[in-house]
Amino acid sequence: MSGSDRRPGIRPRPTLGRRLDIAARRAFPVTCTILLMLLVELPFGFAAQTALLPALTFGCVWFWSVYRPTAMPPPLVFLIGLLLDLMGYLPLGVSVLTLLCMHGAAVRWRRFLVQQGFAMTWLAFVPVAVAGSALSWGLTALLGFRLIPAGPAAFEATLAAALYPALAIPLARAHRSIADPERA
């Protein structure tokens, strides 16, 4: 509801169209994240495409968890992580735990980060992306009962950190316009 809707008094009931608009705006962060994940899985044929999926998902979950945590609650982060596990051929639960830890860190630091500029949010995301990639690598090795090379995990963390600014610009525009339930 917008600020004017919170005032006491008699107001007409919201129309079906307005309620659908509010629901669509609230669902935008999760829907956008899932659609971007599906878009990345299309066969474009470039070399680092497999590392792009977790990097993009890390950035989306971090951004929406910082700026719109009510639209990215833990149960939906769980479902996004499960989808990432299935799409990335990882053992079930690896991405779920990783994304839930990232979401928890974002929500915990949210009050500080929303007052800072973009650079501080990005600098806070970099160690979280590194820790997320390391956690994903460690859990995959542990659940597979074998030591796997750490190079792809390091590349994934680097790609996530480098991709975040390009991802945050359109997400920030959407956050201020189409994804804002207050504008419905």
| Chain segment 121-154, per-residue pLDDT in tens | 999 999 999 999 999 999 999 999 999 999 999 9
- Considering only residues 61 and 13, tell me which one the structure prediction assigns the higher pLDDT: 61
Confidence category of residue 77, pLDDT binned at 50, 70, 90: very high
For residue 66, being part of any structural domain is answered with yes
For residue 119, being part of any structural domain is answered with yes
For residue 6, being part of any structural domain is answered with no
**Is 12's pLDDT higher than 80?**
no
For residue 9, being part of any structural domain is answered with no
CB 58 within 8 A of CB 160: yes
Check residue 5 and give its pLDDT: 59
> In 3-state terms, what secondary structure has residue 115?
coil
CB 143 within 8 A of CB 154: no
**Into how many domains does the chain fold?**
1
Domain encompassing residue 173: 14-183
DSSP 8-state code for residue 169: H
* Token reading at 23: 């629901």
Confidence category of residue 184, pLDDT binned at 50, 70, 90: low
For residue 115, being part of any structural domain is answered with yes
For residue 171, being part of any structural domain is answered with yes
Least confident span in 38-42, 99-103, 180-184: 180-184
Q: Which residues of 120-152 are buried (b: 16+ CB within 10 A; e: fewer)?
A: ebbebbeebbbebbbbbbebbeeeeeeeeeeee
Least confident span in 65-69, 74-78, 146-150, 180-184: 180-184
CB 63 within 8 A of CB 171: yes
Phi-psi region of 95 (alpha: psi -120 to 50; beta: other; left: phi over 0): alpha
- Phi, psi (5° rounding) for residue 10? -95, 130
**What is each CA distance from 132 to 17, 95, 178, in whole angstroms?**
40, 9, 29
Confidence category of residue 95, pLDDT binned at 50, 70, 90: very high
For residue 128, being part of any structural domain is answered with yes
Return the closest-CA partner of residue 66 out of 123, 114, 101. 114
Check residue 110 and give its pLDDT: 95
Check residue 4 and give its pLDDT: 52
For residue 168, being part of any structural domain is answered with yes
